[in-house]
Amino acid sequence: MTQTALSPRRARRSRQQVRRSGPVLLAAWLIACSDPAPSTAPDTASAADVADSGGGGVDSATVGGWSQGYSITLDFVGGQAGGIDLDLDRDLYEIPTAFSFGSTHYVHGEVGFAVADTMTLKLDDGKGGTVDSQIEISFNFGLVVGSTVNPVHTDKAGPYPFSCQPPEIRIFFKNTQFRSNCAGLTGSVVLDKYANVTGGTIAGSFQGRLQAYYPQAGATAATPCDAAENAKMCSKPDRYVDVKGHFGFTLPAKADGGGGGSGGG
């Protein structure tokens, strides 16, 4: 069932919405030891309308009533996406490919967790018709179990201000990747529930600004925590998206076949 509402592409007087719909396309963003390259997904696609996924019940103990999904509002400024506002409510029940949890990329006992959701939206083309446009939304909690070699990133409930380290939020839309790890951004991820074992829940809220991660000529794919390289990669401060929302994710079975990391709750 299609659940999209269309509004003028360049106007802010109404918002484009997708409510409780399941993704047409999904990509599990595996947490790698190196920084992943920006997506090469096209701006438009020939996929069908975003379809309703069903989903089942929710855990009322999680923030906003979510136990396997998220809500997000996005207000884009500058670049190809400038002037587009979106409201998305996403139900990820029975979508295991959206989740990456395990030790696949680590050799010292570390465990990472990330969620990557890719969908195709129907947007108003400004000419009385519609255009299919793909968007990717990723939540990277980094290492939820660390080691003496690679320290943990997300290890308890509480606020995590946006920084070069996870937890981080990434958006890919209109051929541009926006990230929360550009230097100087205001915002945070606030965890009300934390776990690092299968069956546990990570839940909370987020609010802030993601900047276009748009490299200058000659920039390398270096760590965002290198100040010089961060400046090269985050070279378009006039292109950004303001985001706000909440989420609740139940940790799946570990990718390496284990039952989750130590501790948690």
Q: What number is the average pLDDT over the span 100-127?
A: 89
- Does the pLDDT of residue 231 top 90, yes or no? no
Provide CB contacts within 8 A for 66, sequence distance 6+. Answer: 58, 59, 203, 246, 247, 248
pLDDT of the residue at 50:
37
Q: Distance between CA atoms of 242 and 58, rounded to whole angstroms?
A: 27
Band of residue 31 on the pLDDT scale cut at 50, 70, 90 = very low
pLDDT of the residue at 222:
63
Band of residue 5 on the pLDDT scale cut at 50, 70, 90 = very low
More confident residue, 191 or 254: 191
pLDDT digits (tens, 9 = 90+) for 153-168: 999 999 999 999 999 9
Q: Distance between CA atoms of 47 and 125, rounded to whole angstroms?
A: 16
Q: Distance between CA atoms of 144 and 240, rounded to whole angstroms?
A: 28
Q: Are 168 and 155 in contact (CB under 8 A)?
A: no
- Does the pLDDT of residue 127 top 60, yes or no? yes
pLDDT of the residue at 66:
57
pLDDT of the residue at 173:
96
Q: Distance between CA atoms of 144 and 33, rounded to whole angstroms?
A: 14
Domain residue spans in the chain?
4-250
